[in-house]
Amino acid sequence: MRVQAEREDFPDFCKGVLIALVVFGHAIQYVVLKGQAQALQDPVFSAIYLFHMPLFMALSGYFATPAKLRKVSLPSVALVRGGQILRPMMTWVALTVLAHIAIDLFHQQHNVVGWAKFAANALVSSYWFLWAVFGSYLTLRALLALPLSPAVSVPVPVLILALLPLHRLPLVGGTLADFAFMFPFFCAGSFLGGRRKQRPMIGVNGPARYGALAACAAATVTLYLRWTPENYVYVNRMDLIHQPGAVIAMLAAGVVASVIVIALTHALYTGIRGSWIAARVVAMGQLTLQIYLAQGFFFVIVGAFPLALAARMPYLAALIAAAAITLFVLIGITAVVKFSRAMGNAVFRQVWGMELRRV
């Protein structure tokens, strides 16, 4: 029974750790440093962004195995995932835009053009990861319908996506480039998940495993030390033609750093399994979609206060402040999820993309 519990809980534990890092990274970016330009050169921000979104996408694909996807038609995938992802996303985009407008009006600022730009950015860019998840479900399901081996039907489109100048498209180019970056990790997670009965997420200890971990650790440290703003997908835009080195380093870092983080997270999980802390992290991992949806709204509220922490306090103190903000956001979102249960199933499903159940 312990083996069964680990198989169910460890992925949620991983997701709980990752979503906390996502919120922490955004606290550094939007509140502590007040902007992306400064964040891209921050050492802690860089360390998080080596792996957290690639690993998150791989975990999203881990339970969307080819066998499961083949059982559902492409229109059904679009309908179900659209209801789970896009519908609540639209709700939180509207709430975030309204909060932004309310703050501007409180400060007696009237900028209709600015509000329109904020709304477009919130819809297209702020939730880029959810667009990438939705697109990955649809794309992989469509590729699995082709009369070809997945060994051919999946890698070839991935390569084509990397070579297309998607970033040059107006408005949606950045989000499409993000999708091109994330889709290979979703596919990797999906195919690894399909083999998890023969090859579990954490393999058997042995010299080969430790050797692989040592190699991945060395590669991770090397890539981190050579990391520059050009290695972020926000900058290189998956432009494999003009920035091949930056793109390849970004993809490689996503792989090797994810392997190391999985191993470290499993060691942590094994050490605290059964504790109150482990249970809270697992519970948080089961609310990753809800936390990701609502965090933008909370950061608009928190960002309304003139903090600019990094400019007024030592760096370590600023990081501690970012951790405190992260805790505030996570507790606040959890409280909102619990409070919204009283609003009924229809409202709950619209706001959170899930049926009303015990959370």
pLDDT tens digits for 49-60? 999 999 999 999
Domain of residue 297 covers 2-94+123-352
pLDDT tens digits for 165-188? 877 777 788 888 999 999 999 999
215 found inside a domain: yes
309 found inside a domain: yes
187, 188, 189, 194: CA torsion to nearest 10:
90
pTM > 0.95: yes or no:
no
- Copy the structure tokens of residue 173: 């180019």
pLDDT at 155 (0 to 100): 82
100 found inside a domain: no
301 found inside a domain: yes
More confident residue, 39 or 310: 39
Least confident of 63-77, 143-157, 223-237, 286-300: 143-157
Asked if 328 contacts 302 with a C-beta cutoff of 8 angstroms, the reply is: yes
pLDDT tens digits for 234-265? 999 898 888 999 999 999 999 999 999 999 99
118 found inside a domain: no
Please give the average per-residue pLDDT across 35-51, as a whole number: 87
Q: pLDDT over 90 for what percent of the chain? A: 59
The total number of structural domains in the chain stands at 1
Asked if 295 contacts 23 with a C-beta cutoff of 8 angstroms, the reply is: yes
DSSP state of 357: -
304 found inside a domain: yes
DSSP state of 231: G
106 found inside a domain: no
State yes or no: pLDDT of 22 exceeds 80.
yes
117 found inside a domain: no
Which of the four pLDDT bands, split at 50, 70 and 90, describes residue 358? very low
Distances (CA, A) of 186 to 42, 145, 288: 27, 17, 16
